[in-house]
Amino acid sequence: MLKKHWWKALAVMLIFYTIIGGLILEVPRLAILNETIRNLYFHVPMWFVMVITAGTSAFYAIRYLNKQNPIDDTRSLEFAKAGILFGVLGMLSGMLWAQFTWGTFWSGDPKQNASAVAIMIYFGYLILRGAFTDELQKFRVSAVYNILAYAVYIPLIFILPRLSDSLHPGNGGNPGFNAYDLDSKLRLVFYPAVIGWILVGVWVAQLRIRLTKAEIIIENK
């Protein structure tokens, strides 16, 4: 069991380490950010998870169009749902951070707006799937939409916000954390946090896929 599920045990250990270390280990005293810099261990990894799970969803969408295997559609759907979940968590944690550092939950910052649009695009994916009664047509159209959604998502999150002024570090001329003080104190928790949250995101999608498979088996009995 441990050989097969070692990565789940690793995910649990990394998340516990992130929570405990993120709350009690010393962090650099940065202007304005102060203790809120600890949110770096939670807010930023959420978007890493969405990038990975949404990309995996697009991969299975491509594979479905190639092989026409319904299980690939299920995998694509559940990874997209996991991406939406962590994207919403990333937005909420970012809004909380913004309230303490920028003075408001929502400032209309380019990256905030781009993130909201990206999540709405993926909500549109779920709505689109519900609009079809023919399963094969639903699978094909939603697969195409999913691929296009990811093609839009990447520049929307990583490129467009950098073309205009932004309060976010590393965007619009605003220096990133590396230019401030992403020293060993932060790296000690940040990198394990990213790995841990990504593993949790994959785990959530995997559980949903298994649940969907079980539901299909029960329905076909």
Reading the chain (221 residues) residue by residue, the pLDDT tens digits are 556 788 999 999 999 999 999 888 888 777 667 788 889 999 999 999 999 999 999 999 999 999 999 999 999 999 999 999 999 999 999 999 988 888 889 888 888 999 999 999 999 999 999 999 899 999 999 999 999 999 999 999 888 877 776 667 655 444 455 544 456 778 889 999 999 999 999 999 999 999 998 988 887 76
Name the residue among 167, 165, 162, 122 with its Cα closest to residue 146: 122
Tokens of 117: 């649009």
Question: What is the pLDDT, as a whole number, of residue 179?
Answer: 44
Domain boundaries, the chain: 25-105+116-219
Question: What is the pLDDT, as a whole number, of residue 181?
Answer: 47
Question: What is the pLDDT, as a whole number, of residue 107?
Answer: 84
Q: Report the distance separating Cα 134 and Cα 130, nearest Å.
A: 10
Q: Report the distance separating Cα 200 and Cα 129, nearest Å.
A: 25
Query: Which residues make Cβ contacts (< 8 Å) with residue 101, sequence separation at least 6?
Result: 32, 33, 36
DSSP state string for the chain: -HHHHHHHHHHHHHHHHHHHHHHHS-----TTTGGGGGGHHHHHHHHHHHHHHHHHHHHHHHHHHHH--HHHHHHHHHHHHHHHHHHHHHHHHHHHHHHHHTSSS----HHHHHHHHHHHHHHHHHHHHTT-SSHHHHHHHHHHHHHHHHHHHHHHHHTGGGGS--SSTTSTT---HHHHT--HHHHHHHHHHHHHHHHHHHHHHHHHHHHHHHHHHHHT-
